[in-house]
């Protein structure tokens, strides 16, 4: 049984979900550990019916600051 | 020749009927009845009930002596702050757990045996080792003194040893064991000994939508558990077993989870009989996606 509060997914014994080894990569295991609060223990709950999906070709990826698959030069 | 006088059945030499042997097991099936010198013990006291006036409560009727309705299903809610329900671990030992909709949380009073039984397998409350311990379990019904409890003023009391049902050490935790112990009194300090009966036919229906404040999730509304690390990957149930970090993929139900109000677990939207789970019954650090069991892990 898990609860979600303030970015942490916590069980009743105070353990929280975290990404093993704090490595942000495909197929990394997810595990429970004592809470230390670093980013590999922080999660967002995104409801599927509110998920906008990822920006498609020609759309701005706001987080990255670039338009998807739109060619550009980089000028010094 | 016997006469009936003030609760005693007396012969002309002053001997009275009594149930043989004064011990905890006196009030049991097939005990002999004998005559002895008159005392004040309850095993010598009788009521004469005329057949045309005798009746026992039927199904759905209140048994006033036991404080419970006959064969009317109920939950039993602890007075401790979390309001957990009486449940079973390993389908044997009595504990408190969050409400989960399983039959192991549904009880009824059985008039014939005078015991409280589980709807899971119709076994009865039982103090382990025929009452020689404090631990509570369910066991095949035998109506021994160690299986009989009366409910009154929020306490379940064994009428033979006067011990009451309690949550051990007042631990308001998932899976805390139940024992019998001496009653502490009737005050705020004995919440671990007090209980509320909620009859199933009066219980509120399980919600199927809306926000569960305690758990922080919307009920039955699929969601992603998305890491805040830079790549924003999500938790995915892989092969109904491992839970991995994976890049978000459109319409991949194995990446979606939902909060189930009945089991209080996070179920996977592809493997719908599976929930987020700590491996090895909570003995590991690894997270898995396994068959829902509503245990603390």
What average pLDDT does the structure give for chain B? 92
Instruction: Identify the pLDDT of residue B185.
Output: 66
Q: Residue B187's pLDDT is what?
A: 57
Is the pLDDT assigned to residue B132 strictly greater than 90? yes
| Residue B146, min C-alpha distance to chain A (Å) | 33
Q: In 10 A of CB B221, how many CB atoms?
A: 18
B75 CA to chain A: closest CA distance, Å?
20
Q: Name B3's bridge partners.
A: B10
> What share of chain B in percent tops pLDDT 70?
98
Single pTM value for the model:
0.67
Do the Cβ atoms of A29 and B226 come within 8 Å? no
Examine the pLDDT at B116 and tell me if it is beyond 70: yes
Tens digit of each residue's pLDDT (9 = 90 or more) over B237-274? 998 789 999 999 988 999 999 999 888 899 999 999 99
Q: What is the pLDDT averaged over residues B159-164?
A: 94
Q: What mean pLDDT comes out for the span B108-117?
A: 97
Span A5-39, pLDDT tens digits: 999 999 988 899 999 999 999 999 999 999 999 99
Q: If you average pLDDT over residues B40-58, what whole number do you get?
A: 92
**pLDDT per position as a tens digit, B179-203:** 999 998 655 568 999 999 999 998 8
For the ranges A42-51, B44-53, B181-190, the lowest mean pLDDT is seen at: B181-190
Task: Write the residue in A32, A42, A48 that is nearest to B228 by C-beta.
Answer: A42
- Burial code of B261-295, b = ≥16 C-beta within 10 A, e = fewer? bbbbbbbbbbbeebbbbbbeebeebbbbbbebebb
Provide the token pair at B258. Answer: 């939902």
Instruction: Scan residues 190-219 of B and list those with Cβ closer than 8 Å to A.
Output: 214-218
pLDDT for the residue B245: 95
User: What distance, in Å, lies between the first and last C-alpha atoms of chain A?
Assistant: 53
Closest residue in A to B218 (Cα) is A47
In the block, residue with structure tokens 């021994």: B144
pLDDT digits (tens, 9 = 90+) for B203-232: 877 788 999 998 999 999 999 999 999 999
What pLDDT, on the 0 to 100 scale, is given for residue B204?
77
* Closest partner CB to B227 (pick from A2, A11, A24): A24
Domains of chain B: 2-51 (no CATH), 62-201 (2.80.10.50), 211-291 (2.80.10.50)
Are B245 and A54 inside 8 Å of each other by CB?
no
If you ran DSSP here, which 8-state letter would residue B130 be given?
A: H
């Amino acid at each position: 049984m898990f609860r979600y509060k303030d970015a942490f997914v916590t069980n009743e014994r105070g353990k929280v979900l975290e990404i093993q080894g704090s490595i942000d990569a495909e197929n990394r295991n997810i595990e429970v550990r004592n809470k230390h609060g670093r980013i590999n223990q922080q999660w967002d709950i995104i409801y599927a019916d509110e998920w906008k999906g990822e920006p498609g070709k020609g759309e701005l990826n706001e987080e990255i600051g670039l338009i998807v698959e739109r060619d550009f030069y980089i000028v010094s | 020749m016997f006469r009936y006088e003030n609760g005693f059945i007396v012969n002309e030499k002053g001997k009275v009927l009594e149930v043989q042997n004064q011990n905890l097991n006196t009030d049991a099936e097939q005990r002999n009845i004998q005559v002895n010198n008159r005392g004040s013990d309850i095993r010598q006291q009788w009521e004469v009930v005329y057949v045309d006036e005798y009746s026992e409560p039927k199904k759905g009727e209140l048994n006033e002596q036991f404080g419970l309705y006959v064969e009317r299903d109920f939950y039993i809610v602890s007075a401790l702050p979390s309001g957990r329900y009486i449940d079973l671990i390993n389908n044997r030992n009595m504990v408190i757990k969050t409400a989960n909709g399983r039959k192991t949380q549904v009880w009824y009073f059985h008039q014939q045996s005078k015991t409280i039984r589980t709807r899971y397998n119709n076994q009865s409350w039982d103090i382990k080792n025929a009452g020689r311990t404090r631990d509570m379990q369910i066991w095949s019904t035998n109506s021994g003194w160690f299986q009989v409890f009366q409910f009154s003023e929020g306490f379940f009391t064994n009428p033979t040893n006067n011990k009451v049902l309690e949550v051990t050490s007042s631990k308001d935790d998932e899976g805390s064991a139940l024992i019998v112990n001496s009653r502490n009194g009737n005050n705020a300090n004995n919440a671990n000994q007090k209980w509320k009966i909620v009859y199933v036919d009066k219980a509120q229906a399980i919600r199927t939508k809306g926000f569960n404040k305690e758990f922080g999730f919307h009920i039955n509304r699929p969601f992603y558990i998305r890491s805040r690390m830079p790549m924003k990957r999500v938790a995915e149930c892989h092969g109904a077993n491992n839970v991995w970090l994976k890049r978000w993929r459109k319409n991949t139900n194995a990446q979606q989870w939902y909060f189930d109000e009945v089991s209080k677990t996070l179920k996977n939207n592809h493997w719908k009989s599976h929930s987020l789970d700590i491996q090895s019954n909570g003995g590991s650090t690894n997270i898995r996606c396994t068959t829902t069991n509503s245990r603390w892990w």
